[in-house]
Amino acid sequence: MKNGKVIFFDTTLRDGEQCPGASMNLRQKLEVARQLEKLGVDVIEAGFPVASEGDFESVSTIARTVKKCRVAGLARCTEQDIRKAAAAVAPAGDRARIHVFLATSPLHREFKLKMSKEEVLARAVEGVKLAKSLVEDVEFSAEDASRTELDFLAQVVEAVIDAGATTVNLPDTVGFTTPGEYAAMIAYMREHVRNIEKCILSVHCHNDIGLAVANSLAAVQAGARQVEGTINGIGERAGNVAIEEVAMALTTRPEALGFAKGENPHNLNTREIVRTSRVVSRMSGMMVQRSKAIVGENAFAHSSGIHQHGILAKRETYEVINPADVGWGATELPLTKHSGRAAVKARLERLGHTLSNDELTHVFERFKKVGDSKKFVYDDDLASLVNDSLDTRNGVWKMHQIQFVAGSAACPTATVTLEKEGKKFTDSAIGNGPVNACFKAIDRITRSKGSLVDFNVHATSCGQDALGEVSVKVQFCEHERPVSGKGAATDIIEASARAYLNALNRHLTLSSIKA
Ligand code: KIV
Ligand code: ZN
């Protein structure tokens, strides 16, 4: 078990998507899944099928679409969850995995589950047996493993392996452990669990005190062979371990981490890392910090003269990774309004977006409009148009026209025309600024009342004619989670209105699924 490559289990679409504001619709999840497949992750955890109809649908659609990776669906240790997960992953055939979890730590047993050790043990075995009767590939996670008594944890691990689990995951659910302690936990399992050779030991680290990468690597050195994480490290609270960081640590320092010199410790195509990071960031609305390792914009930027001189003389003086090896530097000439449909399609594919003909038509229309108002359409401009135009197309309400008046001496006023089922609706509103006036006009037309929870704007490319990409989080119902939305346009007020409308459309879709 200690030998062999590290399996990457990507949970961007489940644990990552659980992070506030990162929720994605089906189209966005599919784009992420396709790109994860290009990256070469071994397992995609596509969602938690019992959570909602939307989750079920996205897990089963991903299971149908993805052709190489295993596809996992999460389930608590209950019959309903497990059967639902089995049905959702079924289209993946022999690549289907059910991921069953149950907490094992004293805190969770006493306060959350109100179950004794014996009851937890019995429930875990029962859950794994049921899952095993439905699929061949069963993973069991002992939630909060890192705060569980080692002897009890070993008992649970042994019992679930006997019950049929082929992967056993020992999560650091609250990001509490340290590298030495986590490695010792893995070593303890290898020493004390009789049938341990029959399973792959897996680790799942959260980053609450910034130790997720160190903990995952320590566990790999101790013999774990599956690492669970997310792209860009998105996830609950401080996030999950960033897959790209663990992968590049393994690629760059194999010998320091227990692999032979020249050995490739995993199956990822590292040249797809930056592209994957961009796709996840765009689809989830979660921006990547500029100085983030590997995928941040400044990760390979050398500003000091001494460093620049060193790099020019020999790259290795100040770079431990060749940026091209993770996919940096592949920028091509920007497109212009004269670029044809085939060129736009080819560029989108290189950026990780595979669109149907119909989808391409919509994006191409938007591209032409933007190309009229801007000399060059850069890759990031184009990618942000994908989200904006496809979500607009699928939404109940479509933006038709927008006008506004603002200035230090004017009362900010907006007039908006929206389209629904072929009919046009126009209304005006005043606000404390043009953006606020647009949101109010949209509220009046659609008879909704959103309150803005978060607002971010950034330029997708360089220059004064850059596209403005706006991300918003809006709460439409007091008791519901805020919904995120995105919009892009050369005018940031228009981009804001598009983002707000996108959030409203997503809220309406979610409400109709629940109804
Ligand atoms: O953090 C955690 O413990 C989890 C489990 C459900 C695997 O996400
Ligand atoms: Zn987790």
pLDDT tens for the chain, 515 residues long, are 446 999 999 999 999 998 877 778 898 899 999 999 999 999 999 999 999 998 999 999 999 999 999 999 999 999 999 999 999 999 999 999 999 999 999 999 999 999 999 999 999 999 999 999 999 999 999 999 999 999 999 999 999 999 999 999 999 999 999 999 999 999 999 999 999 999 999 999 999 999 999 999 999 999 999 999 999 999 989 999 999 999 999 999 999 999 998 889 999 999 999 999 999 998 888 889 889 999 998 888 766 677 777 777 777 887 889 999 999 975 567 788 889 999 899 888 888 788 889 989 989 998 998 888 877 888 878 887 887 777 777 788 999 999 999 888 889 999 999 999 999 999 999 999 999 999 999 999 999 999 999 898 888 777 777 788 898 889 998 888 888 888 888 899 999 999 999 889 888 877 765 55
- The answer, yes or no, to whether any atom of ligand 1 lies below 6 A from the CB of 202, is no
**CB atoms near residue 480 (< 10 Å):** 12
Closest Cα to atom 1 of ligand 1: 173
Closest ligand to residue 234's CA: 2
Q: What CA–CA distances, in Å, run from 37 to 40, 327, 380?
A: 5, 16, 21
Mutate to test the pocket of ligand 1, among 143, 172, 201, 241 (most ligand atoms within 8 A of CB): 143
What is the chain's alpha carbon radius of gyration, rounded to the nearest angstrom?
A: 24
Task: Count Cβ atoms within 10 A of the Cβ of residue 110 and give its class: 0-12 exposed, 13-18 middle, 19 or more buried.
Answer: exposed
**What is the C-alpha to C-alpha distance for residues 334 and 90, in angstroms, rounded to an integer?**
42
Contacts of residue 116, defined as CB under 8 A and 6 or more positions apart, other chains included, come to 109
Distance from the alpha carbon of residue 41 to the mean position of ligand 2, in angstroms:
18
Distance from the alpha carbon of residue 284 to the mean position of ligand 2, in angstroms:
17
Pairing of strands 200-204, 226-229: parallel
Distance from the alpha carbon of residue 484 to the mean position of ligand 1, in angstroms:
24
**CB atoms near residue 193 (< 10 Å):** 21
Q: Is 103 helix (H, G, I), strand (E, B) or coil?
A: strand
Q: Which helix (H) or strand (E) segment is 415 a member of?
A: strand 413-420
DSSP state of 24: -
- The answer, yes or no, to whether any atom of ligand 1 lies below 6 A from the CB of 204, is yes
Considering only CA atoms, which of 384, 389, 392 is closest in space to residue 364?
Answer: 389
Mutate to test the pocket of ligand 1, among 12, 101, 170, 230 (most ligand atoms within 8 A of CB): 101
**CB atoms near residue 356 (< 10 Å):** 9
- The answer, yes or no, to whether any atom of ligand 1 lies below 6 A from the CB of 171, is yes
**What is the C-alpha to C-alpha distance for residues 470 and 493, in angstroms, rounded to an integer?**
9
- The answer, yes or no, to whether any atom of ligand 1 lies below 6 A from the CB of 108, is no
74 Cα nearest atom in ligand 1 = 6
171 Cα nearest atom in ligand 1 = 3
**CB atoms near residue 85 (< 10 Å):** 29
CA atoms within 13 A on the CB side of 500: 27
Closest Cα to atom 5 of ligand 1: 143
**What is the C-alpha to C-alpha distance for residues 217 and 137, in angstroms, rounded to an integer?**
25
CA atoms within 13 A on the CB side of 4: 12
Mutate to test the pocket of ligand 1, among 9, 13, 141, 160 (most ligand atoms within 8 A of CB): 141
Task: Count Cβ atoms within 10 A of the Cβ of residue 416 and give its class: 0-12 exposed, 13-18 middle, 19 or more buried.
Answer: buried
